[in-house]
Structures are given as structure tokens and as C-alpha cells.
Structure 1
């Protein structure tokens, strides 16, 4: 395995296998997209290489190579919590990183025997691997990203391809794949609602 660190953008748009699904995650200064600054974007095509793109406090977030990858209509983007990642990418990079698949959403549709849908729990149950979350609340806006932070960030995309395989098997088994796809298709709109101020309100509810 190798973790590749980049400042402000990917060095080129040919670092990943042609047409491969790209696992995507983000790290920010907080959990409110649009308020809290995007600091890091992590990427993997399922190979033993993960790529981390770090943005500084004075970044203009132009990142043309990263934007091209995230908006490629022929590449599925694979997230664990797409609602947040898509929103913060939209807020700072100005693009909608689709089409998408969300392992957290898939888990909630198929693992109805539990309310534990975090990445750590999914990786443990479906892949038999323990993930460390020690760096989850570290300072991602620091001037230097240390080795422990880099490993943590890379691990957030390292297992998503394998998780998707396991979740898809269960979605097909329970005839919920079509419903899952409808949820994935709605997530960009859900992210836009969050950014527009409707993060907590259910505009579809009666009343």
C-alpha cells in the first residue's frame, strides 16, 4: 500500500484506472458544509494506492484535475456518507461529484437489524477488519498533516470498494437495489437542501 500526498490538486487526471469507480472521502474543520472549511479529499480506485489532496486556508479550490475526476459522468463516485461529502465538495470545489453510491445509505436499507452504520462497524462486520478512529477529531487544518492522520484519512477510502460488493449482494438478495438507486439519485438534492439551510427540516413532512 502507498499513500500519495498532494497539495491543492492532483498532479494529473490519469492516476486512476480508466473508468474505475473512485472512492471519495473528505476531512474538514467541522461537520457543517458551507461553514466548516474543506481541508482534505481522499481518493482510491480500489488499488493499493490512496491519494490525498490537501487544501490550505488560503486555497482558491480551483483544482482542475480533481474537479475533472469528480465530475466524470463515466466514473461512479463511492462514498460512505455521501450527503456530507457531496455537500462540502459542492460548497468549496463548486461541482456536483456524481454519479454516486453511498455505503452508509445502503447499510441503512439492508442492515435493518442494527442502528450502527458507521464505517468502523461496517468494515468490522462485513470485512473482519478493525479500523482505528483515533484521528477522527484531529485538527485537519493544521499546517502539517502527520503520518497518523494520513493513514486514518487513507483508510476511509481503502475499504469502500469491498464494502460495496458485500452490500450489493444483500441489496439484490432482499430486492432493494432499485430503492437504493433511487436514494443515491436523490442525495445530490439532499446535499443542496443542506447547503440552502434545510439541513434539519423535513420539507416532505405533513404540516
Structure 2
């Protein structure tokens, strides 16, 4: 595993093609309160790039170019939250997207465990730690433990996607999954617009 930490933007020479795994770390999980602190990216080659925002300064033209590239599929785990944060703080709409959590819920109906740690253990026999999930991501400097944790959130998403794609095809749910992925940016927009928990499709 190789991890490179950058401050405030991705270097222009760092490029991706085809697919890029993406994750975010924030001060908390409240979209009305908690700012973006870290964006993690990986090409699925064992290398992770972390862009750290120790202050709420989000110019980052190189990072925005990668995230907004329509030729790149952005692979997330629980894309809904990450998409909302990236749109709010970076002003970027990420499309097309793939969400391993949504895919898992569509095909792993034999379990209610769809967290990243569960998928890594069950599908690719990799154990990852979530001990740093609740920590100060807005600190001026990240600890080695935080860096390792953040990297682990993107290093395995390509492999998970490959396994889930096989399962989706096997169960005849690939088209349904693709439709869900296409809607995710709009689901994030609903969260930002004030409909985080309300099901607007419900009868009552």
C-alpha cells in the first residue's frame, strides 16, 4: 500500500482513467453543520491519494477536474453522503457513479450487514479497521493512523465492485442497479435541499 498526502488540492500530474475510487472524511455526518476535511482517491492499484483540507478553503481545481470528469466512473461506498458533501463544498456534481453499498443491498439480501468492513471481509477476505472513523479530520496534521484508515476506505472499492457486478448480473439486477446509481446525485440534491429523511415517493 502506498499513500500520498496532499494539502488543499491534487497535483496536476496525478491522473486517472476509466474508474476512480472516492471517499470523504468530514467533521461529522450533519450536512447542515459538518465540513469536508479529506477526499481520498485510488485507481485500484494499491495507491491512495489523500487531499486534506485543514481549513475550509476549497479552490482545488485539479481535484474538481477529476471528480467532475464525465469519462471517469466514481466508485463510492455510501455515495449519497459523499456526493452531497462534494457538491456542497467543492461545487462538483460527480457523474457517473457506482455505489458498493447500494449494490450490496440489491444482491446481498441474505444479510443486513452492508458496511465497508463487512463487504471487505465477506467478498475479498480483507479485514479493515474502523477505529479512526470518529476522529478530528480537520486537525492541522493527520496522524499515521488517520492516514491509514482513510486510505483503506478507497483501496478495495474496485475489487468490491468487480465482485458485486458478478452478483448483480447473476441475479438479473444490473439494470436496476444502474438506474439507482444514476439517481444518486439527485438523491444527494434532495438531502441538500432539505429532504434528508422524507420519502417523497411514499403514499403518506
Structure 1 unaligned regions, length at least 5: none
Q: Counterparts of 1:81 and 1:103 in 2: how far apart (Å)?
A: 7
C-alpha displacement of 1:120: 0.2
* Secondary structure of the structure 1 residue equivalent to 2:179: helix
Aligned length: 204
- Structure 2 residue aligned with 1:68: 65
C-alpha displacement of 1:48: 2.1
1:2 aligns with 2:2: yes
Q: Deviations over 1:78-125 (max 9, x none)?
A: 000100000000000001011100000000000000111000000000
Alignment of 1:94-133 (within 5 A): 94-133=91-130
C-alpha displacement of 1:58: 4.0
Alignment of 1:46-195 (within 5 A): 46-59=44-57, 61-195=58-192
Give the RMSD, CA atoms, in angstroms: 0.9
8 Å CA contact 1:16–1:45 kept in 2: the answer is: no
C-alpha displacement of 1:141: 1.1
C-alpha displacement of 1:143: 1.5
TM-score normalized by the length of structure 1 = 0.96
* Secondary structure of the structure 2 residue equivalent to 1:198: coil
- Structure 1 residue aligned with 2:14: 15
- Structure 1 residue aligned with 2:24: 26
* Secondary structure of the structure 2 residue equivalent to 1:186: helix
8 Å CA contact 1:81–1:102 kept in 2: the answer is: yes
8 Å CA contact 2:35–2:56 kept in 1: the answer is: no
Q: Counterparts of 1:32 and 1:70 in 2: how far apart (Å)?
A: 22
* Secondary structure of the structure 2 residue equivalent to 1:43: strand
Detail structure 1 runs of 4+ shifted over 2 Å in the superposition.
none
